[in-house]
């Protein structure tokens, strides 16, 4: 049964004005069509933005404690629909069912967290130079927020943008990644079922390269929150500046881990492999470079290889599988090209790296986890974000050398250090040029109540998640009342 997904505009599920659709396929079985989404046009985006604008005043005026009830309800509904939505996401982009279920659980937590934000302070009373005046600040909604999300976290990322947007009083136009448009629609159904008033959340699918600028450039849209690639992020920022909008970008990473000789090597190997290979390496926070002190290089390499050998590649809907396909044909070709490039650049394969269909007797986008050695910082495989299951090992003589090489990148999302040395740990916290630091943890570790984001070219600056989100999704209004 193929699912036919419509746009959701002003509280109604409607087809795109041109009637065209896009097929979504399953990366574990590329011949299987999971469903169809609307190939929307600029006029559909316009209608969605108009609806959001129309609803913005009344939604923004509701008490946050009342808005909170809609988020609570959405959380309850999402929890009930966990398996169904997780399965859809697995079939759309290949991530293992256990991981997509984890993502739904995370999304439920995020909704409940932001529902609680509806009961917290919305401003501050300040001392005035005029003794009988009341001077205070208020956090007010921005108006309409445009949300553009990637396919790699098709549940958690939309929710960690939609939930704060709504609780702080904004209305939303949401465009998911095309690869995961069906999952996106199911999330919108959850808000629909929760009774969110018409126009508060609007949903359009379609190629970002065709309709993205209509959303970002729309005069009724006040802010854009985007997670995706650096190249698209840059064009969004430019258009947002031209059309005077607030914007937030969460972009790529090339995250390093450093393993020193005094580390718990078994723990480090386990967490470096998890960091690199979880979700088939398709995480912005994935570990892609590991700097290993030369005295323990061979031991660590063996431990990592042993971990990699445990992976069982296949369709992530199957419970025995521990390593799913990459998300699409495009991803498959990109990753295989990088493996060829690494070999051309002079790196050597310490493990895996080949496509894994034959032994699987499958036709999906399966690649075995890939471990490169003899890598230098100057190679493209060590510099560019690959977004796939490739880990580069680089030998270093000291912590200082590792830190300096780890920082030599345009990205700055996350970084890990494995050591028992407190002094080096604190030095790493200070000098690592990233937004998220892990000591004896994997680079992808993130909790929804903590600020999430990077430095350098990985982010635009304002953080997502936790209470940090209020910075992006609201503006200050400063009020002075003279009672006389």
* x/- map, 367-406, ligand NAP, by CB under 6 A: ------------------x-x-------------------
Can you tell me the distance from the alpha carbon of 102 to that of 283, in angstroms, rounded to the nearest whole number?
Answer: 15
Q: How many residues bind ligand NAP (CB under 6 A)?
A: 31
Shortest reach from residue 230's CB to ligand NAP, in Å = 6
Q: Which is nearer to ligand NAP, 139 or 283 (CB)?
A: 283
List C-alpha distances in Å: 25 to 32, 329, 387.
6, 10, 20
Among 291, 293, 295, smallest CA distance to 408 is for 291
Can you tell me the distance from the alpha carbon of 213 to that of 232, in angstroms, rounded to the nearest whole number?
Answer: 11
- Pick the stretch among 25-33, 162-170, 176-184, 437-445 that binds ligand NAP (CB under 6 A): 176-184
Contact call for residues 268 and 300 (beta carbons, < 8 A): yes
188 binds ligand NAP (CB under 6 A): no
Among 6, 115, 148, 335, binds ligand NAP (CB under 6 A): 148
Among 457, 459, 456, smallest CA distance to 472 is for 459
253 binds ligand NAP (CB under 6 A): yes
- Pick the stretch among 54-62, 85-93, 133-141, 150-158 that binds ligand NAP (CB under 6 A): 150-158
Tell me which residues are annotated as active site. Answer: 250, 284
Q: Which is nearer to ligand NAP, 253 or 389 (CB)?
A: 253
178 binds ligand NAP (CB under 6 A): yes
Shortest reach from residue 256's CB to ligand NAP, in Å = 15
Among 42, 122, 232, 362, binds ligand NAP (CB under 6 A): 232
209 binds ligand NAP (CB under 6 A): yes
410 binds ligand NAP (CB under 6 A): no
Q: Which is nearer to ligand NAP, 68 or 177 (CB)?
A: 177
Torsion angle, alpha carbons of 346, 347, 349, 350, to 10: 130
Can you tell me the distance from the alpha carbon of 380 to that of 393, in angstroms, rounded to the nearest whole number?
Answer: 14
415 binds ligand NAP (CB under 6 A): no
List C-alpha distances in Å: 361 to 36, 355, 477.
27, 12, 62
160 binds ligand NAP (CB under 6 A): no
Can you tell me the distance from the alpha carbon of 19 to that of 24, in angstroms, rounded to the nearest whole number?
Answer: 16
List C-alpha distances in Å: 44 to 10, 31, 166, 182.
11, 30, 22, 18
Tell me the chain's radius of gyration from C-alpha atoms: 23
Query: Would you tell me which residues interact with ligand NAP (CB under 6 A)?
Result: 148-153, 175, 177-179, 207-209, 212-213, 216, 227-229, 232, 235-236, 250-253, 284, 385, 387, 413, 458
């Amino acid at each position: 049964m193929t699912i036919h997904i419509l746009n959701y505009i002003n509280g109604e599920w409607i087809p795109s004005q041109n009637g065209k659709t896009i097929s979504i396929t399953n990366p574990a079985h590329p011949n299987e069509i999971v469903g169809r989404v609307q190939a929307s046009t600029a006029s559909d985006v316009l209608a969605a933005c108009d609806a959001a604008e129309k609803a913005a005043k009344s939604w923004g005026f509701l008490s946050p404690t009342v808005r909170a009830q809609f988020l609570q309800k959405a959380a309850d509904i999402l929890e009930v629909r966990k398996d169904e939505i997780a399965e859809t996401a697995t079939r759309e982009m290949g991530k293992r069912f256990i991981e997509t279920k984890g993502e739904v659980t995370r999304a439920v937590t995020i909704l409940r967290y932001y529902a609680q934000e509806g009961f917290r302070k919305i401003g501050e009373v300040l001392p005035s130079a005029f003794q009988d005046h009341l001077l205070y600040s208020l956090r007010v909604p921005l108006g309409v927020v445009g949300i553009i999300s990637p396919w790699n976290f098709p549940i958690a990322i939309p929710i960690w943008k939609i939930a704060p947007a709504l609780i702080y009083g904004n209305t939303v136009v949401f465009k998911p990644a095309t690869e995961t448009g069906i999952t996106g629609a199911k999330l919108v159904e959850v808000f629909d079922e929760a009774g969110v008033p018409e126009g508060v959340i609007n949903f359009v699918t379609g190629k970002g390269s065709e309709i993205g600028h209509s959303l970002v450039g729309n005069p009724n849209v006040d802010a854009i929150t985007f997670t995706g690639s650096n190249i698209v992020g840059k064009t969004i920022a430019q258009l947002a500046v031209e059309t005077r909008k607030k914007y937030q970008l969460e972009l790529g990473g090339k995250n390093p881990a450093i393993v020193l000789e005094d580390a718990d090597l078994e723990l480090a190997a386990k967490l470096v492999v998890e960091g690199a290979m979880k979700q088939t390496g398709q995480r912005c926070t994935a570990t892609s470079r590991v700097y290993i002190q030369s005295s323990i290089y061979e031991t660590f390499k063996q431990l990592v290889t042993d971990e990699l050998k445990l992976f069982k590649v296949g369709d992530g809907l199957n419970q025995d599988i521990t390593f799913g396909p990459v998300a699409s044909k495009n991803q498959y070709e990109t990753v295989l090209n990088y493996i060829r490039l690494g070999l051309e650049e002079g790196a050597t394969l310490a493990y895996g790296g080949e496509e894994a269909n034959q032994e699987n007797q499958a036709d999906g986008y399966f690649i075995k986890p890939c471990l490169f050695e003899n890598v230098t910082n100057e190679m493209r495989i060590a510099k560019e974000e690959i977004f796939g299951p490739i880990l580069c090992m680089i030998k270093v003589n000291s912590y200082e050398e590792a830190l300096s090489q780890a920082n030599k990148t345009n990205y700055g999302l996350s970084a890990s250090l494995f050591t028992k040395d407190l002094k080096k740990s604190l030095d790493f916290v200070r000098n690592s040029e990233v937004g998220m630091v892990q000591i004896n943890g994997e680079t992808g570790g993130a909790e929804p109540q903590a600020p999430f984001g990077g430095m350098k070219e990985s982010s635009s600056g304002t953080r997502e998640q936790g209470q940090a989100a209020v910075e992006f999704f609201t503006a200050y209004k400063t009020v002075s009342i003279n009672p006389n």
